[in-house]
Amino acid sequence: MEIIVNFFEKNGLIVAFVVVGIISYLGFLISKHVLKNKIPGAAVAILLGLIVAYFAGLHTGGSKGIADISILSGMSLLGGSMFRDFAIVSTAMGASFMLIRQTGLAGAISLVLGTTVSFVGGAIIAVFFGYYDAKSIATVGAGACTFIVGPVTGAALQASSEVIALSIATGVVKSIFVTISTPFIAPYIGLNNAHSAMIYGGMMSTTSGVSAGLAATDIKLVPYGALTATFATGMGCLLCPSVFYLILEKIL
């Protein structure tokens, strides 16, 4: 047993290839035979991944989903930000520079609007739950942008660790919710072309949510959405602890 565990840990990345292949296969099987292709196989596979992560988390009590099971620790390498970003960049091969330039301004507007709307939405909910100091409200609002903006803002404003933890959880909920909801909402908001995908990326902010949500909707849209989303965390880290916080302080 120990030999097997050691072997799996040492060859983590290869094990991850095998495991992801199995999850994907199950996802496509379920999509085809149970859901009659109503939900794309990629979406089912991503959802299966989340379900597996939930039960693994319950079992191990860790924070890295299935990767906290030691024989599957390689999953955190394959699913980590390095491979994710590398794969996102590669999808740009099929993207059109013309379309990107045409939508450039709209993308920039969506970045500012997305950060603002998320922050305000998160902040209002924080007030509803009884937070009345600008630091805590700003930190929760920042968490509603992405799970990186939350703790960065909280640390900059010296918010309490409880509130920072809350802002991370908010960002994780958002990322998962964007992933799951995008394929269902896409037809209603016209998310089927490069133009709307770039605006969607800026509005949603969360790179992981956007990249997974678009993968489940239409992989051709991934580069456009990811292109703007990748600026959103920086935008949030820039605006939340400074401009937004100061405005909040003035209001209170």
Q: Candidates 14, 50, 243, 252: give the one binding other proteins (CB under 8 A).
A: 50
Q: Candidates 12, 15, 66, 134: give the one binding other proteins (CB under 8 A).
A: 66
65 binds other proteins (CB under 8 A): yes
Per the structure block, which two tokens stand in for 149? 């903006």
45 binds other proteins (CB under 8 A): yes
134 binds other proteins (CB under 8 A): no
Min dist CB 90 to other proteins, Å, is 4
Query: Within positions 163 to 202, which residues make up the interface with other proteins, using CB under 8 A?
Result: 165-166, 168-179, 181, 185, 189-191, 195-196, 199-200
Q: Candidates 14, 37, 160, 234: give the one binding other proteins (CB under 8 A).
A: 234
Per-residue contact string for residues 141-170; x = within reach of other proteins by CB under 8 A: --xx---xx--x--xx--------xx-xxx
Q: Would you say 3 or 43 has its CB closer to other proteins?
A: 43
- Which region, judged by CB under 8 A, interacts with other proteins, from 1-9, 29-37, 106-114, 243-251? 106-114
